[in-house]
Chain A
Amino acid sequence: MTARAGPTTHDVTAIVNGVERRARVIPRLLLADLLREEWGLTGTHLGCEHGACGACTVLLDGEPTRACLVFAVQVDGCRVDTVEGLAGDGAGLHPLQEAFRARHALQCGFCTPGILMTLTAYLREHLAPSEAELREALSGNLCRCTGYQHIVQAALDAAAAGRATAPPA
């Protein structure tokens, strides 16, 4: 839709959830709109469109990034990971998603994709976080439903499970 609305366009190529994708975009198109409207990846949600709520968090070259604050043209040549790719190709759930389900760490589910992406990146680098550290890591993602308690428990469970299955250093 937006690709045809502007006079100037740019070609963007990105590796999205492991697959190369291309688009021709207007300069001001947001990454979130590219993902959602052009590529059909609607798991990335827009909650505030000013970078405060974290619902649109994706991984850009592995780093948690607000898709509402990044232009589509900025991801040319980058790797983008969204919630749709978290569990890989299988039909099952990623261990963090499993922990969320087991702990009832989501209610309406709208903020959940952004929280999952934030925690995925965090837990990759922090194998044994304390509860306080996890709360700090989550503090850029707003959830109005859960009160965070079950999210924190799920993340602690996932971290413990990750340590249990990790190959010895």
Chain B
Amino acid sequence: MKFVGDRHLRKEDPRLLTGRGRYVADLTLPGLLHAVILRSPHAHARIRRIDTERARAHPGVVDVVTFADLGPAGRAMPVAPPHPALRGHNFAPLAGDRARFVGEPVAAVAAESRYAAEDAIELIEVEYEPLPSAQTLAPGAPAVHEDVADNLAGRVSLTRGDVEAALRAAPRVASVRLRIGRGGGQPMETRGLVADWNAALEQLTVWASSQVPHQIRQFIVDLLDLAPHQVRVVAPDVGGGFGAKLIVYPEDVLIPFLARRLARPVRWIEDRLEHMLAATQEREQEHEVTVGFDDAGQLLALRDRFVHDTGAYTPRGLVVPLLTASMLTGPYRIPAVESTFESRYTHRVPVTPYRGAGQPQAVFVIERVLDLVARETGRDRAQVRLANLVRAADMPWDTGLPNYRGSGHVVLDSGDLPSVLRRALESAGYEARAAEAAAARAEGRLVGVGVASYVELTGVGPFESARVRVDAAGRITAWSGVTTQGQGLETTLAQVAADELGVTPADVTVITGDTAGVEHGTGSFASRAAVVGGSAVALAARDVHAKTRLLAARALGVAEADLEQAGRAFTDRRRPERRVTFAELARLAGAATAALGVEPGLESTRFFQPTDMTYSSGAHVTLVELDPLSAAVRILGYWISHDSGRLINPLVVEGQLQGAVALGIGSALLEEIAYDETGQLLAGSYMDYLLPTATDVPTMVIDHLETPSPLNPLGLKGVGESGALPVPAVLASAIEDAVGPTGGRVTRMPLGPARLMELLPPVLSGDEGTGRDRAT
């Protein structure tokens, strides 16, 4: 192996650095129309009548469509995956007689220019009957769907052992209420599509800024009644995803519908306000946690009951709360556990996974519990964690809780969790930092150290595909069913293929996100692309390499053992002047094959179907200081130790970790999607919804462990989301340390300036003796 493990520079960079990337908004076609979407201004309203006449008459307007025009396409899209406890509802390409959140698509205009289309949507007259809306998770809110009167989308209870008995038997018990708010993936490129109907071929080509082009094709096939071979979906260069592009949205069917209806290419590019209004969000949950433990800080029982806000629809079923519930115990050994949730509909943007997918909430809950136990027992927070972590000798560790896919338990496959925490502590100089923080506090400064451990579920199935081909010019192409939104898969998959084929990454062209490349594909989410996609590429490339060797031996008239490979050619070891190239072998494979005993073509399509998820692990340590006047948090140091199995490209992995931590800092301190009591969005711009800037994110020190996973051929584990998981937890830990025993307790995320002010110790916040509840 020569290239897996190498800090290889990215193949995609020269294109992206010089403005030659091809993002969906960059694509133009002759006769292109521009679509703009009218969205509901009400969180809940009956749509009584829509008058499109004035809009149609506007210069440049070609068409205006509403639900009534959709015909058979006016159906709810499927919910995936199903779950026996789910009372699921998904949206249709346009709202029918009812709108269920501010931002739900109601009508679309197609015009010769975007300017004309933007003007025309103002001329559409919709008669709404506004209705009371569900803006709370408490029972009794107005029903979002008529057949779900109590708004309960699903209730699930996961258990290990008898938690009530274990809590009764525990020497000590403590409880805490925790709340997490809403945020979003917020890729810098918004969503967008270009769709083109070729009437001569009766084929639809769709370019979509998406993480799941194969799923989009399936939805188009289903709703527009086309055969799979009539629809090609391509994800070109995609400017970030983070989950915001992992479901199939109404527009993903609506824009292709318009292109076919009008027999002209149509482009729709979401603007940022639309993204804030309509791209799916996550994280909102309210937890009631009770923990049983002993005087040594050993965990004995854990009960968590939480309510999850799923928004107006459930495009991804119960995935997010199931992930929170099933990953609750994380890296710790807890003999008795109950994790029960109710997922409730509200008249708000639908909730589906974004970077972390329910797991940051689980990490926040369990790490808050570990800090609580440390405080109650007077023990060091790191020591309490070390005492409870699953040990290396315990692996594989069955947590006893069913996994979110219902395919078995959450079983940690491998790793050394105590080592990864110890290495993070050493890297940070934990004891010295703690002493430094204590000394600073003695001087009246608010400095604190935080620590958090985590495991991340990665490498999710059901499968990924790969096709590797050597063509008659000797070019090597690898197609994968995954997509790339910045993770560098053009490079890392080429590294994998190059090693298997005995060539260099420069010799391998990787094409992702194209349904014409591989017939079946799953997509990029759940930290799966490198693990599952990379494994499939390795298998297909291995096949092709075996075939090149077989054919080369035949061509040269030697045994395979006598072959010497030099890049894309083989020679006879004993007579090096006798040589055959990959190009010649591809021609050979394309011609007389029966006599050679092989099937035609120098290519292979393979699937990798993991038997189970593989779990990454890690620990973060941070040092923070709060400004006593503004309560602003300054991150003075940040240390990461991480184990994502064997690394394909450490440079890319470090970039993933750094970016995910930055996103975690945003979700902990800056970003919150807020609504008023009528469901109107209060954070519709980057003036109100603050993404972390270069001055908010610290320099991070990263240390890698590499415990190979036994579950795939390369020993890989996923990493894309890992960095985001423990950030709210580690910042909570550090902030609580900084404000000291007289300050408040962190029970809520995110911590905006107002909530941080409430945490300051009384002597600093000037409200000594008011006796108000300090919990946030």
Contact = CB atoms under 8 A, between A and B. Distances in A.
B686 A53 contact: yes
A24 interface: no
Interface in A144-163: 144-152
A83 B18 CA distance: 6
Given A48-B686, A101-B14, A150 B658 contact: yes
Interface stretch (A8-16, A59-67, A69-77, A105-113): A105-113
Contacts of A116: 17
A79 interface: no
A47 B695 contact: no
A150 B655 contact: yes
Given A87-B18, A110-B189, A147-B659, A139 B693 contact: yes
Given A1-B113, A142-B686, A147-B659, A109 B693 contact: no
Contacts of A41: 19
Interface string B175-186: 000000000011
Given A28-B115, A45-B23, A147-B700, A136 B17 contact: no
Interface in A94-148: 97, 100-102, 104, 106-113, 116, 131, 134-136, 138-148
A147 B17 contact: no
Given A52-B686, A151-B694, A93 B17 contact: yes
B694 A5 contact: no
Interface residues of B, number: 64
A5 B699 contact: no
A26 B113 CA distance: 12
Interface in B239-269: 239-240, 242, 269
A68 to B, nearest CB: 10
Interface in B51-97: 59-60
A148 B16 contact: no
Given A108-B189, A144-B691, A147-B661, A43 B19 contact: yes
A142 B693 contact: yes
Interface residues of A, number: 63
A66 to B, nearest CB: 12
Residue of B19, B269, B697 ringed by the most chain A CB atoms within 10 A? B19
Contact of B488 (A26, A47, A50, A107): A107
A44 interface: yes
25 contacts: A2-B113, A5-B59, A42-B25, A42-B26, A43-B18, A43-B19, A43-B21, A50-B687, A83-B19, A93-B17, A101-B9, A106-B16, A107-B240, A108-B237, A108-B238, A108-B486, A109-B486, A110-B189, A136-B695, A142-B693, A143-B188, A145-B655, A149-B658, A149-B697, A150-B658
Interface of A: 1-2, 4-6, 26, 28-29, 33, 36-37, 41-50, 52-53, 55, 82-84, 86-87, 93, 97, 100-102, 104, 106-113, 116, 131, 134-136, 138-152
Given A106-B486, A108-B238, A148-B658, 20 more contacts: A1-B34, A5-B113, A5-B115, A37-B28, A42-B19, A42-B22, A45-B23, A46-B269, A48-B685, A50-B685, A101-B10, A101-B14, A104-B652, A107-B655, A109-B239, A109-B486, A134-B694, A142-B691, A144-B186, A150-B654
